[in-house]
Chains A and B, each alone.
Chain A
Amino acid sequence: MVDLKKLAYRMRRQIIDMAVSAGGGHIAPALSAVEILISLYFRVLRINPEDPQWPERDRFILSKGHGCCALYAVLAERGFLHRDALKTFCQDGHAMGGHPEYGKIPGVETSTGSLGHGLSIAIGISLAAKNDGNTCRSFVLLGDGECNEGSVWEAAMSASQFQLDNLVAIVDYNKLLATGFIKDVMALEPFAMKWKSFGWEVREVNGHDINEVSRTLNEVPFAEKRPSVVIAHTVKGKGVSYMENNPVWHYRLPNKEELLQAYKELNEGLQSLT
């Protein structure tokens, strides 16, 4: 059995190393999603790394494509990719870019990177599954900033219209945009009420508690004939003190000193578990 709490520290280290060695990529938006992805890939999704195209598999779409370092890391940990593949992140001539692309990386179900696209695509997959009698489910991870996009709400409206209880949205609600706190730039609150009024069944969780996230996601659908949404309260930059809750780190890379500090904090966290 993989120790998932330890895995979270390992993945955070991988995410930072990928971005630093590539000289680019979004660290903080990946760090907030680590426990959500671990919960999905180790406790929730019905998937088979040996057969990534298995027709009955659950689909996962990272609609906040800029968090892809976390996705690549979890795909490697789950056996979809070789760990060495992570070294090709953002390297010339390779497939693993700063936003994930369909058909190039096993386990990536659709290309994302422009925000507000993933939920609609998941609706198409869920509609096809219903018509085909396929029991697979679609899970979509949205950013909170992404929920500023009008297309998210077009999609939200149609998912409840079509009674897609095989569709699950998760929002990585880290409260930060690239330029500031979301409440100051373009507020989402009352956020749960918004989803509810669009016909979704809503749960709120601590997005860094693997047990709580997994337990909640394993209860879907929360209501028959309704789509489910989990608002996961998270911390942007989670695990590295100086990155946490600081908008500057949306797309910034640590310098040498900051990198050592990050390693130190992650190591100390890991040690504290044993």
Chain B
Amino acid sequence: MRNAFIKAVYEQAGKDNRVYMLNADIGVFVFDDFKRDFPKRYINLGVAEANMIGVAAGLVLSGKVPFVYTIAPFVTMRCLEQIRVDVCLQNLNVKIVGVGAGLAYGVLGPTHHAIEDIAIMRALPNITVISPGDPWEAYEATKASVRHEGPVYIRLAKSGEPSLVEHRHNAFQIGKGVTLREGKDATLIATGCMVKNALCVAQKLFCEGINLRVINMHTIKPIDHDIILESARDTGAIFTMEEHSVIGGLGSAVAEVLAEESTEKVQFLRIGFKDTFCEVVGSREYLLAKHGLDVPSVSKMVANSLRGSPVQ
């Protein structure tokens, strides 16, 4: 996803001289093309995220469209108050991009994991929160964020994510969820890298006679109310799946819509990190399994829940 983002920013910078790239000292070679072709518009602020956000706000006040980029927890939480005051309060056109969604930096440990960023960013007025599901979507989200007026947070995994060929026929549109697979027994709404896992869960359970609808919710804010309510009506059961805490993320956003707007009785379960940090080290795959977020665990959880058995 990172390379797709960098490609998109490079192309946008070629078309639009307002586009700037601000970096807080990560990615040693990945910006070489950008630096070569747009040297004045590449600014490395060093290891100083708070200053980076303020500088970006100043650039917007002079008509620029800056992207600010570093590892997800640092570009959201380290400089949260700068994002709140300088960017969101003033509704400025800063595009915040965090690499390392969820456990993408697995073995580097909890300091480098981002499992609260969606909740925190989502609470800020004026900002749009996007969590792409694959490199193509990261590319499209980056392009769309330049066209969008106002603050945007894009949460990227790092590298090696599989492509989701299922959604290529859909034009990317901020705020519009995408149905990747039709089903009638329940709906699995997923975001980010969990979209691929959701498709695997649906395939696995299909073989067990459970027919799941799968929705890719790439935009967490504004959330797509229609697709949630329609799925609640059609399938009567909704599961959310995210590489993020169950507090405040996709699951909470969906729950808010269901609780306030759905007229149906809906079975509902949030699947994500249960209010915990990772307490041991490990690869992303290892840690996801440890926290019950791998395909076999989620499949079991969904199947048990639909059969009325205890989910754990």
Q: List chain A positions with a Cβ less than 8 A from chain B.
A: 101-103, 109-111, 113-114, 116-117, 119-129, 131-132, 134, 150-151, 154-155, 157-158, 161-162
Residue contact B51 to A158, C-beta cutoff 8 Å:
yes
Residue contact B86 to A154, C-beta cutoff 8 Å:
no
Closest to B54 in A: A120
Residue contact A125 to B82, C-beta cutoff 8 Å:
no
- Say how far B148's CB is from chain A's closest CB, in angstroms: 19
Residues of B within 8 A of A131 (CB): 40-41
Q: How far is the CA of A194 from the CA of B301 in the complex (A)?
A: 59
- Say how far B151's CB is from chain A's closest CB, in angstroms: 14
Q: How far is the CA of A131 from the CA of B86 in the complex (A)?
A: 22
Of B61-69, B204-212, B243-251, the segment with at least 4 beta carbons within 8 Å of chain A is B61-69
- Say how far A74's CB is from chain B's closest CB, in angstroms: 21
Residue contact B58 to A111, C-beta cutoff 8 Å:
no
Q: How far is the CA of A81 from the CA of B58 in the complex (A)?
A: 24
Contact pick for B58, options A116, A120, A134, CB 8 Å: A120
Q: Tell yes or no: B45 within 8 A of A by CB.
A: yes
Assuming the A-B contacts A131-B41, A158-B46, A158-B55, are A120 and B61 also in contact, with contact meaning beta carbons closer than 8 angstroms in the complex?
no
Closest to A132 in B: B62
Residues of B within 8 A of A120 (CB): 50-51, 53-55, 57-58, 82, 86
Residue contact B58 to A158, C-beta cutoff 8 Å:
no
Q: How far is the CA of A117 from the CA of B89 in the complex (A)?
A: 13
Contact pick for A127, options B53, B55, B63, B85, CB 8 Å: B55
Residue contact B54 to A119, C-beta cutoff 8 Å:
yes
Q: How far is the CA of A121 from the CA of B85 in the complex (A)?
A: 11
Segment 243-263 of B: residues with Cβ below 8 Å from A:
none
Assuming the A-B contacts A155-B51, A158-B45, A158-B51, are A124 and B89 also in contact, with contact meaning beta carbons closer than 8 angstroms in the complex?
no
Q: How far is the CA of A121 from the CA of B56 in the complex (A)?
A: 7
Chain B, residues 58-101, CB within 8 Å of chain A (1/0): the string is 11111110100000000000000110011001100000000000
Closest to A114 in B: B85
Q: How far is the CA of A154 from the CA of B50 in the complex (A)?
A: 8
Residues of B within 8 A of A150 (CB): 50
Residue contact B48 to A154, C-beta cutoff 8 Å:
yes
Q: How far is the CA of A123 from the CA of B51 in the complex (A)?
A: 9
Residues of A within 8 A of B59 (CB): 124-125, 127-128
Q: How far is the CA of A111 from the CA of B126 in the complex (A)?
A: 15
- Say how far B60's CB is from chain A's closest CB, in angstroms: 8
Residues of B within 8 A of A124 (CB): 54-62, 66
Residues of A within 8 A of B86 (CB): 110-111, 117, 120-121
Q: Tell yes or no: B43 within 8 A of A by CB.
A: yes
- Say how far A111's CB is from chain B's closest CB, in angstroms: 5
Residue contact B81 to A128, C-beta cutoff 8 Å:
no
Assuming the A-B contacts A125-B61, A128-B63, are A151 and B54 also in contact, with contact meaning beta carbons closer than 8 angstroms in the complex?
yes
**Most central of B40, B41, B61 by chain A CB within 10 Å:** B61
Residue contact A121 to B55, C-beta cutoff 8 Å:
yes
- Say how far B21's CB is from chain A's closest CB, in angstroms: 13
Residues of A within 8 A of B43 (CB): 127, 162
Chain B, residues 19-50, CB within 8 Å of chain A (1/0): the string is 00000000000000000000011010110101
Q: How far is the CA of A113 from the CA of B90 in the complex (A)?
A: 13
**Most central of B41, B51, B66, B89 by chain A CB within 10 Å:** B51
